[in-house]
């Protein structure tokens, strides 16, 4: 039983932060996996087909993941690099949108359009991939030296986040 207005407001805010409160856990997992699959395909298709086909850099997320594994464990491991790429793309990155970014946008800044939030999330993913993983962990130059691959990766990560947000808005499985 809620007796004060402050408690009611806090409960309402908490409910807005709760991801997919209208859907069960299985539905949320399905939505994350569908978003992850479609977003990863869009990212890989853009980075390994469209971009080089237009004369720009070719993205190589699996070799980068292998560098991370080699740095952390002393030897490369291609199956682990494939796993790391697909785990990030199919589970971790879309889960970040569904569980944190979109609920936070709705609760704290509902006036911010979903597309703007998705673009910003894509930039955050790009910073994580090219600064944290590629530079701080794998030892490459920051943002891979701001070469052609840097900008293709930026577009790829933004595309990834936008596709994830579109799947979220489509309410697949909800």
Question: What's the pLDDT score for residue 172?
Answer: 60
Mapping DSSP onto H, E and C, the string for 116-159 reads HHHHHHHHHHHHHHHHHHHHHHCCCCHHHHHCHHHHHHHHHHHH
- In the structure, what pLDDT confidence band is assigned to residue 24 with cuts at 50, 70 and 90? confident
- Please check the confidence at residue 8 and state whether its pLDDT lies above 60: no
On the 0-12 / 13-18 / 19+ scale of CB atoms within 10 A, 47 is: buried
C-alpha–C-alpha distance, residues 112 and 168, integer Å: 16
d(CA 94, CA 147): 27
Q: Is 17 exposed, middle or buried (0-12, 13-18, 19+ CB in 10 A)?
A: middle
Q: How far apart are CA 110 and CA 105, in angstroms?
A: 6
With a pLDDT cut of 90, the percent of the chain lying above it is 82
pLDDT at 3: 47
Residue 137, Cβ neighbours under 10 Å: how many? 15
Q: What is the pLDDT of residue 70?
A: 97
| pLDDT score of 14 more than 90 | no
* Amino acid 173: pLDDT: 52
Where is pLDDT greater, at 22 or 59? 59
- Cα 42–Cα 104–Cα 14 angle in degrees, nearest 5: 135
Phi, psi torsion values for 172, nearest 5 degrees: -60, 125
Q: Is the pLDDT of residue 85 over 60?
A: yes
pLDDT at residue number 9? 47
pLDDT tier at 40, thresholds 50, 70, 90:
very high
Q: Taking phi first (over 0 means left), then psi (-120 to 50 degrees means alpha), and beta for anything else, what does residue 55 get? A: left
Mean pLDDT across 39-52: 98
Q: pLDDT digit string (tens) for 98-119?
A: 999 999 999 999 999 999 999 9
Averaged pLDDT of the chain = 89
């Amino acid at each position: 039983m809620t007796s004060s207005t402050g408690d009611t407001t806090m409960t309402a805010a908490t409910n807005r932060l709760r991801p997919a409160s209208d859907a069960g856990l299985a539905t949320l997992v399905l939505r994350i996996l569908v978003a992850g699959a479609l977003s990863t395909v869009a990212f890989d298709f853009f980075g390994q087909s469209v971009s080089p086909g237009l004369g720009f850099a070719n993205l190589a997320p699996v070799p980068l993941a292998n560098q991370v594994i080699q740095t952390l464990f002393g030897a490369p491991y291609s199956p682990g690099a494939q796993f790391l790429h697909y785990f990030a793309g199919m589970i971790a990155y879309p889960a970040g949108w569904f569980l944190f970014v979109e609920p936070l946008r709705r609760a704290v800044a509902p006036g911010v359009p979903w597309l703007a939030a998705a673009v910003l999330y894509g930039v955050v993913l790009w910073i994580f991939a090219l600064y944290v993983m590629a530079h701080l962990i794998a030892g490459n130059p920051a943002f891979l030296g701001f070469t052609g691959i840097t900008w293709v990766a930026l577009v790829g990560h933004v595309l990834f986040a936008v596709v994830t947000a579109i799947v979220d808005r489509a309410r697949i499985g909800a």
